[in-house]
Chain A
Amino acid sequence: MKLTRREFIKWAAASAGTAAVAGCATGGMGGGPKVVVIGGGYGGATAARYTKLWAPDIDVTLVEPNAQFISCPISNLVLGGNAQMQDITMGYSGLEKHGIRIVRDSAAAIDAGRRQVRLGGGETLAYDRLIVSPGIEFMYDRIPGLRSAQAQSRVLHSWKAGPQTAALRKQLESIPDGGVYVLQVPSMPYRCPPGPYERVSLIADYFKKAKPRSKIIVLDSNPDIVSKKGLFLAAWNGMYKGMIDYRPNSELQDVDVSGMTVKLTFDNVKGDVLNVVPPQRAADIAVKTGLVTASNRWCEVNWLTCESVAVPGVHVIGDATQSASGMPKSGSMANQQAKVCAAAVIALVKGQQPNADPMMMNTCYSFVSGSSAMHVTSVHRYDPEKKAVLPVKGAGGVSKAASADEAQYAWGWARNIWAEALA
């Protein structure tokens, strides 16, 4: 997509007005510009780090309730016994070394009019620009049998890495040889499209070694495997032949925890370990702030700046956003959005024009065993006519086959993207 010269002149004139207004809005405040980031995951930690790296004069504060960063990518290797919790657990001390203030608290409310964030502990943080990377909340209201905390502690999601990752691993270790593990997959969109299929591959890897008579049932709400289908099927029909029973169009109705049964429309499925990944939406702080504008679940943004379409001065990145066409909810995408957002926020607080031609690239690796992985990748460019970041035609694709080489690249990806967020 290219602008005509006439369109460009019109656009530049309009943008000049915007820049002047932005300059006025921040001009009256004392001290250095203030950027507050809510959420220290792949999106927020990376956005905080790049805002500080690229504009050291900006005061950057990162609000995150957890003491540690625990990575969802690689967490399926922990479930399969090919990695340990300490391999996916990192600290925030690297960000403090850059001069970023880390506040271990959660955001209770955002007053976008006054440009303030009130924290759970009572402190109030003023901002010139706010970046919200809140992640997802699970919609347990749709699953009556899983509404109680007790039910949720028996039937795990393990779709946010942390205590539930370790707990599901323990459940898998205690399953008898010949036992059944059931994974229920929500309808798209959800965090990490290939994640469920990687998870069952790695659990099959574990069962094959430790409990070869055990079985895996995948109850997929979707009509088909949504990512890397051919590559996953090659593993399931090859090294895991006979172990994985994949059932598409298996939308969840409810869960009977005492009977360890997943209830579908026409069928009930029993298992020794049930792993139900509920439908997801943007986390509560996004809902409370009025950032959720799409289907009561996701936050729409202007992809030039990641600024909310509903709340001025507030930028939203990561899984909570209404994904543009072809854009997965992934750690990789959150990392890319974080850098586009950080650059735009810096430009805006300084009264400059943000980049009019942002690009983003997604690279997601999936393991099918402890030593074999494959990728899916796509390149995205801002389309000024459609006002969306769209996949570049002819680019992107998937691996020809899973390989040991790509398992090395996957670990390299993990170490580098973790450093992007935290080093």
Chain B
Amino acid sequence: MRTFRAVTALAAATLVAGLALPAVAQDANYARSLAATCFTCHGTDGRSVDGVPPSLAGANKGYLLQQMKDFKAGKRPSTVMEQQAKGYTDEQLELIAGYFASKKAGPGTPAPRAEAARMSY
């Protein structure tokens, strides 16, 4: 079941938006805001530049959720993931898994290299 807190965020967003937006759009933004905390290392929308750490976009939702729950429970050994997964509720992990599963798989675009002519060192 979802915590009252998660429902609160969703309900508040819906209520305050004055029904101008469907509840599902607000919920998608909440899932996106959670998943965005993972983008820093795994790439925007889970498309990793060079694949390290791995891309998450387009992965199977059940698989992603199980991996995160295993990290959280300490069942899957890791360096950083077991410490991070513990920071999220199971409901939040499900929203995160759903977000990445809904994205099209593909590699991330790297940041553009500096133009050589501009390098002054």
Contact = CB atoms under 8 A, between A and B. Distances in A.
A392 B17 CA distance: 29
A92 B48 CA distance: 20
Contact of B109 (A91, A94, A339): A94
Given A339-B33, A355-B13, A379-B84, A363 B111 contact: no
A363 B40 contact: yes
A406 B115 CA distance: 29
B40 A416 contact: yes
Nearest to B9: A357
B12 A89 contact: no
A277 B5 CA distance: 43
Contact of B113 (A90, A359, A361, A392): A90
A392 B5 contact: no
B85 to A, nearest CB: 8
Contacts of B108: 416, 419, 423
B5 A3 contact: yes
Chain A CB within 10 Å, residue with most, of B11, B83, B116, B119: B83
Overall SS of chain B's interface: helix
Given A409-B80, A423-B111, A19 B16 contact: yes
B73 interface: no
Contact of A377 (B49, B53, B84): B84
Nearest to B41: A413
A67 interface: yes
A173 B25 CA distance: 56
Interface string B38-73: 111111100011101100000000000000000000
A334 B54 CA distance: 22
B100 interface: no
Interface residues of A, number: 71
Interface in B83-121: 83-88, 92, 108-116, 118-121
B21 interface: yes
Interface in B28-42: 29-30, 32-34, 36-42
Chain B CB within 10 Å, residue with most, of A85, A336, A353, A378: A353
B110 A415 contact: yes
A343 interface: yes
A415 B34 contact: no
Chain A CB within 10 Å, residue with most, of B38, B84, B87, B111: B111
B33 A363 contact: no
Q: How large is the interface on B (under 10, 10 to 19, 20 to 34, 35 or more residues)?
A: 35 or more
B36 A339 contact: yes
Contacts of B20: 352
B23 interface: no
A90 B12 contact: no
Given A89-B119, A381-B87, A406 B111 contact: no
Contacts of A50: 36
Contact of B112 (A94, A339, A379): A94
Nearest to B38: A361
A413 to B, nearest CB: 5
B40 A355 contact: no
A359 B9 CA distance: 12
Interface string A264-300: 0000000000000000000000000000000000000
B84 A409 contact: no
B111 A421 contact: yes
A422 B3 CA distance: 36
B118 A68 contact: yes
Contacts of B83: 377, 395-397
Contacts of B80: 363, 375, 377, 399, 409
B21 A361 contact: no
A386 interface: no
B40 A332 contact: yes
B41 A12 contact: no
A413 B80 CA distance: 12
A335 to B, nearest CB: 5
A105 interface: no
Interface in B1-16: 3-6, 8-9, 11-13, 15-16
Contact of B12 (A339, A353, A360, A418): A353
Interface in A1-16: 1-3, 5, 8, 11-12, 15-16
A85 B119 contact: yes
A317 B49 CA distance: 25
Contacts of A413: 40-41, 53
Nearest 4 CB-CB pairings of A with B: A379-B87, A395-B87, A412-B52, A353-B16
Interface of B: 3-6, 8-9, 11-13, 15-18, 20-21, 29-30, 32-34, 36-44, 48-50, 52-53, 79-80, 83-88, 92, 108-116, 118-121
9 contacts: A352-B20, A355-B9, A359-B33, A361-B38, A395-B83, A406-B79, A415-B110, A415-B111, A423-B109
Given A405-B79, A420-B40, 10 more contacts: A12-B16, A89-B113, A89-B119, A379-B87, A395-B88, A415-B110, A416-B41, A416-B43, A416-B49, A418-B111
